[in-house]
Amino acid sequence: MERVNAYLGKHLWLQFVLSILCASALVMLLYPGHSALSVVLRTALISISGIVVVLIGRSRERRAAGGSTNSLVSLDRKLRKGEVPVDPSEREAMRALVTQRLHRTRHRVAALVLLAVLFCAVTVLTALTSGLRQTIGFALLTGIFLVWIIGNGNLQHRRLRVMQAALDGDSTSARAQRNGNQQGGSA
């Protein structure tokens, strides 16, 4: 699984293609009768704004990680495993990446509540206007997606906090050690 994560991290275009194909398959399952090509093209067109947002965020993270995709993938792997970087430049890059991701997620609870309300509203409106197949499909999608996004969001946020504490704890202990050496040298 680690190799798959690293490969997808390096090749963001593959993530987009797989996402569009999965979304198209879901649309074709819920609303049969449309041609596969038209569904894929419509899904890709609708996904453009999301892709742009992801690309902008990715370029910011890449800059924070030192400017290369490989360094970002390496830092992301260390973050997932909880490995604190040893190299000072890599530690600073990790600190910048963690700070940026924590800043980006500062309104995550409100965003999750809004997302839950929107998904539930779409499910209710689908129940009122469509058939049983679409209602069951959207209800399952809503339940599975909300459980996954909340669980995964909490896991990622916890990882970021743990890494921030590890990086700050090490720098605090290093500062205390330097201060102790300075005081000991002046006595």
Q: So what's the pLDDT on residue 156?
A: 92
Task: Retrieve residue 175's tokens.
Answer: 């500062």
pLDDT at res. 173: 52
- Give every CB contact of residue 30 below 8 A, 6+ residues apart in sequence: 133, 134, 137, 138
pLDDT at 187: 45
In the prediction, which pLDDT does 76 show? 85
Dist. CA 170–CA 96, nearest whole Å? 15
Measured from the Cβ of residue 142, the count of other Cβ atoms closer than 10 Å reads: 20
In tens digits, what is the pLDDT along the chain, a chain of 187 residues?
777 777 877 777 888 888 889 989 988 888 888 888 988 999 899 888 888 888 888 888 888 877 777 888 888 888 888 889 888 888 998 998 899 889 988 999 999 999 999 999 999 999 999 889 889 988 999 999 999 999 999 999 999 999 999 988 765 555 545 555 555 554 4
Q: What is the DSSP string of 59-79?
A: HHHHHHTTS-HHHHHHHHHHH
Instruction: Report long-range pairs for 115-118 (Cβ below 8 Å, ≥24 apart).
Output: 115/146, 115/149, 116/146
* Distance, CA of 44 to CA of 17 (rounded, Å): 9
The position carrying tokens 């050496």 is: 181
